[in-house]
Every structure is written in structure tokens, then in C-alpha cells.
Amino acid sequence: MPKLTRRGLMAGTLASSLIPNIAFGAPAGTLRPVTPRVEWRRRPEGIDTPRPRFTWTAEATDPAAQGVRQSAWRIVVASSAAKAAAGTGDIWDSRKVSGSGFSARPDHDLKMAAQTPYWWAVMLWSDDGKASTWSAPERFITGVTDGWQATWIAADKGWPVHIAESRKGADNPGPKAMPLFRRAFTIGKPVRHAVISISGLGHYQLSINGRETTASLLNPGWTDYRKTVLYNSYDVTELLQPGANALGVMLGNGMYNVEQVATRYKKFVGTFGQLRLIAQLAITYEDGSREIVGSDDRWLTRPGPIVFSSIFGGEDHDARREIADWDRAGAPRDGWAPVLVVDGPEGTLKPQGIPPMTVGTTYPTVAITEPRPGVFVYDFGKNCSSRPVLTVRGPAGSTIKLSPSEVLGDDGLIEPRSIGARPNLPVCYNYTLAGRGDETWRPRFTYCGSRYLQVEGAKPADRAGPNDIAIVALASEFVHTDLHQGGRFDSSQKLLVQTHDLIKQAVLSNTASVLTDCPHREKLGWLEQTHLNAETVLYVEDGITMYEKMLADIVDAQLPSGQIPEIAPEFVQFTGVDEMFRDSPEWGGTVVIGAWKAYQFYGDTRVLDIGYPAMKRYADYMGSKRTDRGLVDYGLGDWLDLAPPTTPRIGNQRPTLTTMGVTGTATYYQMLTCLVDIAGLLGRTADAADFARRADEVKAAFNAAFFNAATGNYDRNSQTANAMPLALGMVPAGQEARVLAALVADIQSRGDHVTAGDVGFHYVVRALAENGRSDVLHAMLSRTDAPSYGAQIMAGATALTENWDPSRGGSQNHFMLGHALAWLYSGLGGIRLDFWARGATPLTIAPQLVQGLEAAEARYDSVLGPVRSAWRRSGAATRFEITVPAGAVATVRLPAPLAKLRVDGAPVARARGISGATDRHGEATLSVGSGRYLFEALA
């Protein structure tokens, strides 16, 4: 068969999809509701609000229909699936409500029992007056809303809480085997439903009658346990049995307890106290009665087979210590001891609002080498947030050691520096065999960013002798939060697709219960990336719940002064000479900017409500830090920019190409302008006016300090210094073209290479894309020599690296420089969402064509529904295929005059679903209703 090249593949894909709509002129069809969610999750378990948020999207029953709108909706919430399916809302019936929006919330508290399943359904009306059928009933489960009828329990006495300061910390108790807990109980009558709610600190694994309740891991999510403790809920009806039953819980350390161990790597040492758990099983019987089985002094405990557990250093498991059927009814009591009833942690128990971590992809072994006799290195082909899954056989008491790494040294052995480890402080997994034939094991309470595993103490099965430990199978499980991945990108230029995948791999690898900087060395929630890369994250994954949790973490972390630390949860407190790693406006500013960007993508004000008081306090704090010149001049500045070693140091500032006051003051200005809109949206008109006044003052001070009127550039003419005011609208009127020219000239003088760092590159992307110079951005993304994304790919990186230079010593899995992925969707694809569009539709599709690129395609599962934008040059013409979600309207801008445009083969004026077409400077702007459209721009 003929070879499929990238160009051939794209041409075939787009040619087959860019076909005139054969149903042109067909009447609008009826809508049906799809993707129903409660509190932004499918079938959530453990919600605690009496007024849940219900959302959905729509789909036309006729796939060829165009211009279909939703005119009304109706929601029912019921105590059974049958009632919801029949449209009987015995808990809530909204009745028919006129409206085109895809969300609803009851205007009163719903009367729902705790730890109980409910079902809901939605019906839609289209603008032709036709009603849909009811959606299939969707279930949600309430959490512990009426007070806990359980107590916290532990296996041993506690120790003082110690939060790590900088990279050092007081010793807490050394490693010990992780505890097991069990509780037997009896069921004597038929069960209608059963829900268990549980929090086990640091992490837990729950089983009932020998069966695990969930395939997810590292529950509950990380928080500042002095402020907030999360719990999870599960429907366990199918796990219960008549007669004798048993609950089993295993605990691990996680971030809750980072132990002082002299022989394993750790980022810091700190503890929130003894490992402990609380659990409450609510059983509702068919006769309507209810029974609670809660954690109390009737539980038993004993040490388990996990003899070492560290979120940083790895995990050790001794299979000889496993206890058969320990979590089943009738297990012997020998070796078990009563638990201790203890006080709970300081934090308030709250249901976990984000999906849990789970295994996404499993990467098989792609190569095995033996760089040293008896030492084997397994290559899984991809760097990811990984845990190994091992199948091995050998004699009891034998131990196999697995050591992860991202890169290899010149000798073929692992090089662990990039994950923070050293030869004397390794990250590793040790498994001691029970000698029971093939044994399969995976760590339960840790993971590590890696591509390779170095194996010592065992051999691949095909090379093992009769007395060796034989590795039957070894794979890498990619673990990350279970968020829907809604973005897909393709292009005729292979390098752009590789760049997309490089960044996406890093985003997913750093999506734990917080957005981490890296999945190995630190695993900390550094905040700057969450606003600078917000668009990248939200195109890749359905991240609204992640951003709501992040805002809650920031609120918990805020200091009495109003300061926002750079990390949330603040597991490490940088003080003294390290204070710049605790207080920097480009990091703290995410409390405002990150929240605002999440609102722009989703149109839900909850993320703003969560953080608004903290936003105001932080804006006041930053205002108090302004210098006599009105500048914000402290912190980290443009972290990791490409300043040459000869760059002079200015005061205490590390050598950078951009004065620290540029990034700090511009970030403060951006915060204030966001707060103008946030306050206005929340009805705080006096606050909005005050923020506007302060923003004007900051803008004037910024330009007075940094704008060079004679040369038309800012500060020292760095990429960051010119890009930030351009992107943020700070440039004096009439000077924008000069500043843009200075930015472009600097980039081109460096061979289309970047010099901006972690902060500045976001604004370089924006400044170029929003000012008509996407050609320059495309040229930068086409480079394969350093510094560039292409250089990382050419060096063999499979996830975005920490530095522009992908050296072995730096992290090989950081997403902080991933700003360009957003442009692939918003620029080349042209897909943009902004629910603060001031009277316009929130969805815009305005693809940016660049020379040298033949075709591009972006797909994005938005809050409005699936959006698609594809274009391809065809001789002198360009074809665009655009899909607008059912029920939505998009503002579409195409680089051609109306007279040269055809829609589904006909002039624009005759097209169904299109209205409000205008021409300006050779660009057509159209209001496009839902459906699929083929536009052709003629030469």
C-alpha cells in the first residue's frame, strides 16, 4: 500500500471532511440533552450542597441541521431512576424554564438525605417548539450533610505537627510499616442502597469483603490539613452481602507525613500528625430503616505489608507480610489490636470536588538493556507521572529493586538528578517476594515522573536461570487526575503536532490533586503556571473543578497580611534568604488571574465567589508593597529567562534580561483590570470603580518608569519587557506599532528564538497572536535548534522540560513553559471562549493562517459542546470547516471579504444559520448558528 506521509494524511483527513453539507437548507431539528453533569462532574459521589449546579450540552437529532437553538429546559430530581425517567421530580421539578443556557441551579435548598443516591434528568425545547425526550437518568450521591456519626481512629500515638521550613525540617518519627484497619459487621435484611464516606490520612485504600471500592488512587486529595481535609464517598451496595461483612482500610503517608529517612530522597521533611482515618457506612434497608457503621473503638489494626511509604522516595512492599483475606469476614483476630480513638486534624472535613487520580495509559516495555552485568534498564518510551506494575516470580524473601529516572547517563545506567535523587538518596521501589508463583504488584501510595526503570536483583524471564528472580512483565502506568481530555490538534506540519503532544504530556503528568510543577522532584503547587498556562490547561482537559479546588487551596494558604504564598497548599514555607520563593506577585497573582480565566472558559461565577475576599486582600497587600515610584518591584521576576552569564545583577535580583519591576508591576496591573470585571460581575460596583482608579495609577507609573519614548520600547528592550505591556493594553495610545516592531526585531535578530522565561513567554505568545504577527510565532515554533520546543523534541524529550535547554540535570517533565499550546487552539484553530464578552457571544472562531503551513485542525469539547475548526489551502483557495455546538452561536472571522466567501457552495447571503455578516479590512465577520459549515475563500 502507498506510504502515508504527514502531508498526505492531513490532506486526506481534511479533504474528506471538507465536503459541502448535503443538507443545506434543511429545517432545524429537535435537540437532545447530552453530557449531563452535577457540580461539573458525571455521576458525582459525595456532594454536600443543597443547591447543586446542573449542566448539560445539546445535540441536534438531525446531524445535518443548522442554526438550532435551545429555547427552554426542564429538570427533575427524583428519589429513583424510574421516577426521573418518567419526568416525576419528587425532590425538585424546575418546570419549563425559558432560556438558551446550559446550566441551572435550584433557587431553594433541596430536601435530600445524607449519603443517599438521587437521579436527575433534563428535557429541552428547541426554537421550533419541539421538545426532546427526557435524558437518561443520571445519578448523584450526597455526602455527609447531617454530621458525622463516626470518630477518628489511629494505630498508634501521635506526634507534634511540624510544617517544613525551606528545605529542612525537624525530625519526625522514622519509617514504620503502614497500618491496616478492619471492622466486621453483620447485615440481617435486604439492602436498598449503601454509601460509605471516608477520609484516610495521608492516603487510603478501602476494600469491602476483599474487593476494592475504587480503582482510583491517592485519595483523598492534598490540602493544608490544618484548614481543610477532604473525604470521598462511594456507592458500595453491590459489595455488601447478607450475613457477615468486613471493611478493610490501608493507609499511606502522602504529603500528610513526609518522613525523615537518611537513605531516601525527600523534598522536605514535615508532618501533620499521626496517620488516622474516619469512615461512615450508611446502609438503607428495603424496609426504610437505616444503620450506620462508623469508625470507632470496635475497629482493629495491625502493621501491613508496606514497610516504607514516601510520596517522594518511593515505596517498599514485603509480600511475606501480606495477610490472606484480612479484609474479609471471618478473618482470624490473631495479631490484631484495638485502635486508638483520637482527635481529628484541625481542618474541616469537606467532600472532594475534583475527580480522583487514576491510571490513564499503560506503557509497555519497548526496550531492555543490560548496561552492567546483572543490572537491567527498562525503557517505556514515554516520560510520564508513573508507577510501575510488576509481575515477578522467585523464592520467598528475595528482593527486587526498581529505580525510576527520566534520562540515562553515558554509561547506559539511570541518571536520577533530574528527579531530585542522588546515588545516596535514591527514589526506588523495593518488592520482597512471598514465593507464591507469579506475583503482581504496584505501589499504592506514590508515583514518580520517569521513562526508565533500572532493575537490580532480578532478570527478564527469558534470561533468568532456575535460581534467579524472573521478571515476567514490567510496565509503566500513567497516573493523573481523571479529567476529560477535550482538546485535539492536528496539522500538516509534524513538528507542531509533536509540540502539542510534548506539552500535553507534561500537563497531564502534573495534574494530581493540585497542578504540580513536576511529578517527581517537588510535586508542589507552584502558582504562577496555573494562570500563565491556564488556557493551555483548559484546552487540554476539563479543568474547572481543578481551578475551584486551587482557589480553595489559595484561600487556605493566604497569610494574615494578605500575602499569597507561591505554593498552595503550602507544604514548604520558604523564609529568610529564601523569602523570594514565598512572595512573588507573578505567582500570588493567580488568585485573581487564574480564577478569571477559569470563569472566561466556563461562565460559572463560583470560582470567583470562592476567592473574592482573598483577591481583595491580596490586591491591598500588593498595593502596600509599591515603591515610591508606584512600582511592584520584588519577587522572582521572569524566572528562568535566557539571560547570558554576563548579564549584570541589579541589587539583589538574580541576573535577568528584564527588570523585576516590569513583571511585578505589569502583573499587578493585570490583577486590577481583572478585578474591575470580577467586581462588576459580582455586583460590587464600588469595588470595581476603586480597582479601575488603581489600575490607571499603576499603568501611569509603569510607563513613566519603563517606556522609552525615543526608542519605542520598554526597559532594556527584552522580549518580556515589550510583550507584557502589549498583551495587557498598557502601551500609550499610538505607540503600539513601535513596541510590536521592537519585539519582533529582537526575536528575528536571534534567529526566531525565545529569550523570555516562565513568566514572559506567555505574554510573548499573546502579544504576537493578538497583534497580527502569528507568522513570527509560527517561525519560533518551527525551530529545531535551541532554545525551542523543537530542540527538546530533537533531543528525545517526550514531555516538556523545565528549561529551554533540555539538559540531563533539569526536570524533563514540567509544564510551566507550555504557553504555546494554547495558541495552537486559539490561534491556528481560532477557537476562543470568553463568557465576559460584553454583549457578544462567548464563542469565537477566528483561525489565523500562516505562510508555510498547509493545513491545521483543532477540536475542543467546550462547555457549550464540541467545537471544531479546520482549514486547508487548496490551490489558490482556502477551505474552512467549522462546527458550532448545537444550541450555540459563534462569532466567526475569516481572512477573506464576504464577496469571496462561499458557504456550503452558495453565497453567504443564502446560507441557513448565518446572520449579521460584515466586512472590515478584507476580513469577514459572521454570526454563525449551530451546525457544520464548509466555507471556501476564493482567490
Domains, the chain, in order of start with CATH, read 6-22+840-937 (2.60.420.10), 31-142 (2.60.40.10), 152-354 (2.60.120.260), 358-481 (2.60.120.260), 487-828 (1.50.10.10)
Residue 162: per-residue pLDDT: 56
H/E stretch holding 74 reads strand 70-78
**From CA 708, how far away is CA 211, in angstroms rounded?**
69
The pLDDT confidence band at residue 837, using thresholds 50, 70 and 90, is: confident
pLDDT above 70 for 21: no
Q: What is the DSSP string of 318-374?
A: EGGG--TTTTSTT---TT-EEPEEEPPPSSEEEE--SPPEEEEEEEEP-EEEEEETT
Dump pLDDT digits (tens) for 840-888. Answer: 789 999 999 999 999 999 999 999 999 999 999 988 899 999 999 999 9
Cell of 342: 483520637
- Mean pLDDT confidence for 170-184: 77
pLDDT above 50 for 276: yes
Among residues 423, 538, 520, the alpha carbon closest in space to that of 801 is found at 520
**From CA 930, how far away is CA 883, in angstroms rounded?**
7
Dump pLDDT digits (tens) for 415-469. Answer: 999 999 999 999 999 999 999 999 999 999 999 999 999 999 999 999 999 989 9
**From CA 900, how far away is CA 718, in angstroms rounded?**
41
The pLDDT confidence band at residue 175, using thresholds 50, 70 and 90, is: low
Helix, strand, coil shares of the chain, percent, nearest 5, are 25, 35, 45
Dump pLDDT digits (tens) for 34-81. Answer: 999 999 999 999 999 999 999 999 999 999 999 999 999 999 999 999
Start-to-end Cα distance in the chain? 35
Dump pLDDT digits (tens) for 394-409. Answer: 999 999 999 999 999 9
Dump pLDDT digits (tens) for 295-315. Answer: 999 999 999 999 999 999 999
Cell of 692: 479601575
H/E stretch holding 9 reads helix 6-17
The torsion angles phi and psi of 878, rounded to 5 degrees, stand at -130, 135
pLDDT above 70 for 388: yes
Dump pLDDT digits (tens) for 698-754. Answer: 999 999 999 999 999 999 999 999 999 999 999 999 999 999 999 999 999 999 999
Q: What angle do CA 89, 91, 96 make, to 5 degrees?
A: 45
Residue 883 near residue 929, CB atoms below 8 Å: no
- Mean pLDDT confidence for 603-620: 98
Residue 890: per-residue pLDDT: 97
Residue 358 near residue 371, CB atoms below 8 Å: no
Residue 400 near residue 443, CB atoms below 8 Å: no
**From CA 59, how far away is CA 865, in angstroms rounded?**
8
Residue 157: per-residue pLDDT: 76
**From CA 498, how far away is CA 503, in angstroms rounded?**
9
Q: What angle do CA 702, 526, 592 make, to 5 degrees?
A: 50
262-296 as b/e: b if 16+ CB within 10 A: eebbbbbbbbbbbbbbbbbbbbbbeeeeeeebbbb
Question: Please, which contacts does 778-781 make with residues 24 or more away whose CB atoms are closer than 8 Å?
Answer: 778/850, 778/852, 778/853, 779/752, 780/747, 780/752, 780/753, 780/754, 781/495, 781/496, 781/499, 781/820
Residue 418 near residue 812, CB atoms below 8 Å: yes
Around 153, how many Cα atoms within 13 Å sit in the side-chain half-sphere?
29
The pLDDT confidence band at residue 169, using thresholds 50, 70 and 90, is: very low
- Mean pLDDT confidence for 513-518: 97
Among residues 163, 221, 160, the alpha carbon closest in space to that of 572 is found at 163
Residue 7: per-residue pLDDT: 30
Residue 445 near residue 216, CB atoms below 8 Å: no
The pLDDT confidence band at residue 2, using thresholds 50, 70 and 90, is: very low
User: Average pLDDT, whole number, for the chain?
Assistant: 93
In angstroms, what CA-CA distances link 473 with 314, 393, 462, 649? 20, 10, 11, 53
The pLDDT confidence band at residue 807, using thresholds 50, 70 and 90, is: confident
**From CA 488, how far away is CA 478, in angstroms rounded?**
19
594-606 as b/e: b if 16+ CB within 10 A: bbbbbbbbbbbeb
pTM more than 0.85? yes
Stronger pLDDT, 182 or 655, i.e. the higher one: 182
Residue 200 near residue 208, CB atoms below 8 Å: no
In angstroms, what CA-CA distances link 497 with 480, 789, 830, 858? 22, 11, 16, 11
- Mean pLDDT confidence for 561-575: 95
The pLDDT confidence band at residue 645, using thresholds 50, 70 and 90, is: confident
The pLDDT confidence band at residue 696, using thresholds 50, 70 and 90, is: very high
Read off the amino acid at residue 905.
G
Q: Where are the strands (E) in 794-864, listed by range?
A: 831-833, 843-845, 855-862
- Mean pLDDT confidence for 278-286: 99
**Structural Rg of the chain based on CA atoms:** 29
pLDDT above 70 for 158: no
pLDDT above 90 for 15: no
Residue 303 near residue 336, CB atoms below 8 Å: no
- The owner of cell 478584507 is 922
**From CA 384, how far away is CA 364, in angstroms rounded?**
13
Residue 260: per-residue pLDDT: 86
